[in-house]
Amino acid sequence: MTIEGYFPDMAHDPIGLIFSGRSKITAKVLLPSLAGTIDGRLVKVQYQGERGEPWGGNTKLKGTVVFQSNQVRISLSHIVSEQLSDPMLFNGSYTLIGATTCSDRL
């Protein structure tokens, strides 16, 4: 499943803070199935930048991906340590379009 979105560029100086832009990020969510409830431990996410360059790393996930009718709800977190997790950038509810892509969030 592929999800695309735009995220603010990081500011590295005071000028960048005022005039920062946004970058298109694609998340390729690799799932064992496109039906039912999927445990986050079975999911892999590969992020790519606008030119297809890898963005971020593949980490262990926890949470769920739930398919219901023509919708999917993503509720995943990257596991940073046993006590700390970071919510995935693309968490939310989506309407499915075709077999492998999602529309904007509901």
- pLDDT of 67 higher than 80: yes
- The pLDDT score that the predictor gives to residue 99 is 60
- Residue 106 banded pLDDT, cuts 50, 70, 90: very low
Q: Give pTM, 2 decimals.
A: 0.73
Share of the chain above pLDDT 70, in %: 75
- The pLDDT score that the predictor gives to residue 100 is 53
- The pLDDT score that the predictor gives to residue 56 is 67
**Mean pLDDT, range 10-24, rounded to an integer:** 68
- pLDDT of 12 higher than 80: no
Domain edges within the chain? 2-105
Task: Give CA–CA dist 28/47, Å, rounded.
Answer: 6
Q: Give tens-digit pLDDT for 19-62.
A: 667 778 888 888 888 889 999 999 988 888 777 777 666 678 99
